[in-house]
């Protein structure tokens, strides 16, 4: 099973805002939706999906298990709660959101429970998020590289994460890019603007097309219909080698997501 290349992110969207975003996205043709337990928006997303009346089999739903639910006997009940909120019998993809802070819960415990959730049919694929090379190595030793459908990590033109990307590729592990637009910072970058003008595209489309060309999945979010529609068009934008080389020079290891107490020792 593969991970869709393009999906809808829902980070920081709650209540009616997330209902409207998901409703509009599904109407525009999005079929993959990414959420997480900590986002506190699974229930309204479930409502929006139910109201759309789209067949469940046509959708690809991802959620992420929060660190509070890593303890023995806690992960699977928490996933069942997520399923109830999302009004579905199964997830297409379930991720470990962050590694256990300071290894309070052994990785063997929470990855073992996640693998068991898959065995029980609660999720069709499993994976991780915010895992470094070292953490990926440990995860591979526990469940095997083939079991890790993706590692969802921050990747943008300003944080290209090349060492991690090279390691993941060597192991056959797919990467999903979040914060591909660096909270909108890359949208005002002079190089990105020049490339956008060259192609008659938006800077957001250029950033998303860049990540797609590198083989990553992307999950941009928006509450505006015009932006949701514009983002989708990134799939039709083909950047040339010169464009890619110019964007490669923008890497400055500028990370947007680095929460104290949660973030591992980054590569």
d(CA 114, CA 62): 14
Set 39, 158, 178, 216: catalytic member = 39
What's the rounded Cα separation, in Å, for the pair 14 and 41?
Answer: 5
In DSSP terms, which residues pair with 217 in a beta bridge?
176
The Cα–Cα gap between 72 and 69 comes to 8
Q: Is 39 a known active-site residue?
A: yes
Question: What are 146's two structure tokens?
Answer: 């083939």
Give me the active site residues, please: 39
């Amino acid at each position: 099973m593969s991970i869709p290349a393009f999906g809808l992110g829902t980070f920081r969207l709650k209540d009616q805002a997330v209902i409207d975003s998901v409703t509009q996205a599904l109407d525009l043709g999005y079929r993959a939706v990414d959420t997480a337990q900590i986002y506190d928006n699974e229930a309204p997303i479930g409502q929006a999906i139910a109201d759309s009346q789209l067949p469940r089999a046509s959708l690809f739903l991802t959620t992420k298990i929060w660190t509070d639910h890593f303890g023995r006997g806690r992960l699977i009940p928490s996933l069942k709660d997520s399923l109830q909120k999302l009004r579905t019998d199964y997830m297409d993809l379930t991720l470990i959101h962050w590694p256990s802070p300071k290894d309070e819960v052994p990785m063997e415990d929470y990855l073992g429970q996640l693998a068991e959730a898959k065995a029980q049919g609660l999720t069709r694929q499993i994976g991780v998020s915010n895992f470094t090379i070292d953490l990926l190595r440990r995860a591979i030793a526990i469940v095997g590289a083939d079991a890790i459908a993706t590692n969802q990590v921050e990747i943008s033109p300003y944080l290209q994460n090349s060492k991690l990307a090279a390691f993941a590729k060597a192991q056959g592990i797919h990467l999903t890019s979040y914060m591909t637009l660096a909270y909108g910072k890359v949208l005002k970058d002079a190089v990105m603007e020049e490339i956008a003008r060259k192609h008659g595209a938006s800077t957001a489309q250029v950033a998303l097309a860049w990540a797609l060309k590198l083989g990553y999945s992307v999950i941009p979010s928006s509450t505006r219909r015009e932006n949701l529609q514009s983002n989708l068009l990134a799939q039709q934008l083909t950047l040339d080698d010169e464009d890619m080389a110019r964007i490669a020079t923008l890497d400055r290891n500028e990370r947007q997501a680095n929460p104290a107490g949660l973030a591992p020792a980054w590569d």
